[in-house]
Amino acid sequence: PNLSFGQFMTDFRAALVLKEDTGLYGFKGDPVFDGLKVKTYSGSSIHIKGGGSIVKALSSKDDFQVPSDKGDDV
């Protein structure tokens, strides 16, 4: 697969949150990942160092918007 390291990390972090039983965003039902607690960010602005990430709670995937002021490499 033609996958950049950045996209791999994005997909991995999504899997840590979603924990789907099959597919890209899960760990094939491995229960070891069920114990991980997701910490959500509720602020409105944040500076994240390289390699960092945050998780925001959304009511639905339609609530997501890519920030207009994000950097070119995000």
Chain position carrying tokens 């070119």: 72
pLDDT value for 73: 66
Q: Which domain holds residue 33?
A: 5-59
Q: For residue 6, with 0-12 CB atoms within 10 Å meaning exposed, 13-18 middle and 19 or more buried, which class applies? A: exposed
- Per-residue pLDDT, 4: 87
Q: Are 58 and 64 in contact (CB under 8 A)?
A: yes
Residue 54 is assigned to a structural domain of this protein: yes
Whole-model pTM: value is 0.69
CA distances (Å), 42 to each of 4, 11, 47, 48, in order?
29, 21, 14, 14
Number of domain units in the chain = 1
Q: Supply the pLDDT for residue 65.
A: 77
At 13-67, the pLDDT tens digits run 989 988 998 999 999 889 998 888 988 998 888 888 888 888 888 888 787 777 7
Residue 72 lies in a domain: no
Residue at 65 is within a domain: no
Q: What's the token pair of residue 23?
A: 């597919």
Decide if 66 is inside a domain: no
Residue 21 lies in a domain: yes
